[in-house]
């Protein structure tokens, strides 16, 4: 778990209402991710976790409410400016390019101007975090195992030089051992000072790792607190930890 590095709000979501076309999914979501923290969103299928991350990333526009990152108003910025500001989303299902090699996929991540300048250093950092990717650097994205594809998806996100990394179900579909290795990498990133907002099916694991956490139910935040507090909360235990 990361320490409480800084009390300065890094990412602040204020009363966001959002959805798809006329369908409302988020009904006034508010949350804060402080710098250097790892924060998790937990909740059942269809609760609105992915929609929350997509709205922060600019893939969906809030119908009302604001999303602030430091002094920048993300909810008024075009998607490419959001990425340039350092807010990077690694989607559920990974979204890597099947016909491109591992290294080409990584290069795609360094398209923001500031990231291009540091491309070689970022590549070294990604290979040091995920040595397996370096051994597979010429292999096509579509032929990777699930765990390697997840490493590549995170690696590509890191190539954009994020200030905050949003991970959607990083352990989805992976065996427990492979999921362990992904979580070990997430902890290393956290120790290196990365700010992380994570959505994870394995709520117990997410809560143990997180400085703070939010429970999302039917598009609303119904509970929030330190990861350890929610891990020991009777309702959370029953509803999300299978205890």
Going through the chain in order, the beta strands assigned E by DSSP cover 9-20, 23-34, 38-42, 64-69, 72-73, 87-90, 164-168, 195-199, 212-217, 220-226
Instruction: Find the shortest distance in angstroms from Cβ 169 to ligand ATP.
Output: 6
Output the six-digit token pair for 42: 């937990």
Instruction: Find the shortest distance in angstroms from Cβ 176 to ligand ATP.
Output: 19
One of 50, 150, 210, 212 touching Mg ion (CB under 5 A): 50
One of 10, 38, 49, 185 touching ligand ATP (CB under 6 A): 49
Which one, 8 or 23, has the nearer CB to ligand ATP? Answer: 23
One of 18, 31, 42, 48 touching ligand ATP (CB under 6 A): 48
52, 27 in Cβ contact below 8 A?
Answer: no
The one segment of 30-38, 42-50, 64-72, 107-115 that binds ligand ATP by CB under 6 A: 42-50
Q: How far apart are CA 126 and CA 236, in angstroms?
A: 35
Which one, 103 or 200, has the nearer CB to ligand ATP? Answer: 200
Which one, 172 or 225, has the nearer CB to ligand ATP? Answer: 172
The enclosing H or E element of 80 equals helix 79-84
170, 187 in Cβ contact below 8 A?
Answer: no
> Which parts of this chain interact with Mg ion (CB under 5 A)?
50
């Amino acid at each position: 778990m990361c320490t409480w590095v800084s009390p300065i709000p890094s990412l602040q979501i204020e009363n966001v209402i959002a959805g798809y076309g006329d369908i409302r999914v988020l009904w006034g979501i508010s949350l804060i991710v402080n710098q250097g923290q790892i924060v998790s969103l937990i909740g059942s299928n269809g609760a609105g976790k992915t929609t929350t991350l997509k709205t922060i990333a600019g893939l969906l526009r809030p119908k009302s409410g604001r999303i602030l990152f430091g002094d920048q108003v993300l909810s008024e910025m075009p998607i490419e400016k959001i990425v340039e500001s350092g807010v990077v989303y690694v989607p559920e299902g990974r979204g890597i390019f099947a016909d491109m090699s591992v290294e080409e996929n990584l290069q795609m991540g360094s398209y923001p101007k500031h990231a291009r300048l540091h491309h070689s250093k970022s590549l070294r950092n990604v290979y040091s975090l995920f040595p397996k990717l370096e051994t597979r650097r010429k292999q096509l994205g579509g032929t990777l195992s699930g765990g390697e594809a997840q490493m590549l998806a995170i690696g590509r996100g890191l190539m954009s030089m994020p200030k905050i990394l949003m991970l959607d179900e990083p352990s989805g579909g992976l065996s427990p051992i492979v999921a362990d290795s992904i979580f070990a990498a997430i902890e290393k990133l956290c120790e290196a000072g990365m700010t992380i907002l994570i959505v994870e099916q394995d709520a117990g694991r997410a809560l143990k790792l997180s400085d703070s956490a939010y429970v999302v139910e039917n598009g609303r935040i119904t509970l929030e607190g330190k990861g350890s507090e929610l891990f020991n909360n009777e309702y959370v235990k029953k509803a999300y930890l299978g205890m």
